Amino acid sequence: MEGDTFQQWKNQCLNKCDFSKKGSVDEDISHIVSFINSHDRYFTTSSCSGRIILFDGVSDCPDVQKRNCSWLFVTHQKCQREDVVTGLEKSVGDATFKFEPFVLHVQCKQLGDAQLLHTVAINSGLRNSGITVGKKGKIIMAVRSTHCLEVPLSHKGNVLTTDQYLDFLVGVANQKMDENLKRIERFYECLQGALQPQEQRCSLKEEADKKPIYRRRRKRTQDEPVTDCCQSIEKHHENSEEEMNCDLLFLS
């Protein structure tokens, strides 16, 4: 019964129209979305590859809401200063320059599936990720990063910044976009390793164990974090049953 309900949710979500402004999945993450949706225990509910935006808000309004804002400029790639300047010329309120990193919401069949995806995200540098469980039992895993940027540029249509600072700001946003794309690919590589069939993982491990490996081990400093995603995923698989029991006890 549980599996039938999840499949119904998946069919309804993937067959409905895309009501986003763009109307389609962003190119830089289309391969990730397709890969996740090809697995019977997951499906994506919303996504964004990351974007740089300039939007105009209502002056003297403490609550910044989407319905009170107009978009002056948006791109899912790196931007140019001229693009921001052109957008600022249209500002009549409080313009804000913002970088938003990659975000992905995935509905999972069981809590253990969400925990696996969470492990993948954390070890890929997406450390703002988390799991929520809805009243109807929907388990949503949110894949999110932390390297955001939000800076006010005008007030009541009056630009508050210099050209030199605007150049600097655009450079910072573009650097964050470059890092964002690296984390996306890191997440995809780790995700592929985690969602391989169990027998395929064992086969690859046995093959690797047969081959002699000669390499000089680099001494790791005390403060250097462990970033071996595959090692973390294997540890997750080994302890998944114990974690599931603890989580289910907590939820009850």
Question: Residue by residue, what is the 3-state secondary structure of 164-189?
Answer: HHHHHHHHHHHHHHHHHHHHHHHHHH
In this prediction, residue 16 carries a pLDDT of: 81
Mean pLDDT of 82-107: 94
d(CA 231, CA 30): 27
User: pLDDT tens, 183-213?
Assistant: 999 999 999 999 876 445 555 545 555 555 4
In this prediction, residue 20 carries a pLDDT of: 64
Scan for tokens 């086969």, then name that residue: 203
Mean pLDDT of the chain: 81
Calculate what percentage of the chain has a pLDDT beyond 70: 70
In this prediction, residue 213 carries a pLDDT of: 45
Q: What is the pTM (predicted TM-score) of this model?
A: 0.75
Q: With 90 as the cut, is the pLDDT of residue 47 above it? A: yes
In this prediction, residue 215 carries a pLDDT of: 46
Mean pLDDT of 214-221: 48
86 near 73, Cβ under 8 Å?
yes
195 near 39, Cβ under 8 Å?
yes
In this prediction, residue 78 carries a pLDDT of: 96
Mean pLDDT of 89-100: 94
In this prediction, residue 248 carries a pLDDT of: 37
Q: With 50 as the cut, is the pLDDT of residue 42 above it? A: yes
User: pLDDT tens, 96-123?
Assistant: 999 999 999 999 999 999 999 999 999 9
In this prediction, residue 214 carries a pLDDT of: 45
User: pLDDT tens, 122-177?
Assistant: 999 999 999 999 988 899 999 999 999 999 999 998 999 999 999 999 999 999 99
Neighbours of 12 (CB within 10 A): 10
In this prediction, residue 135 carries a pLDDT of: 87
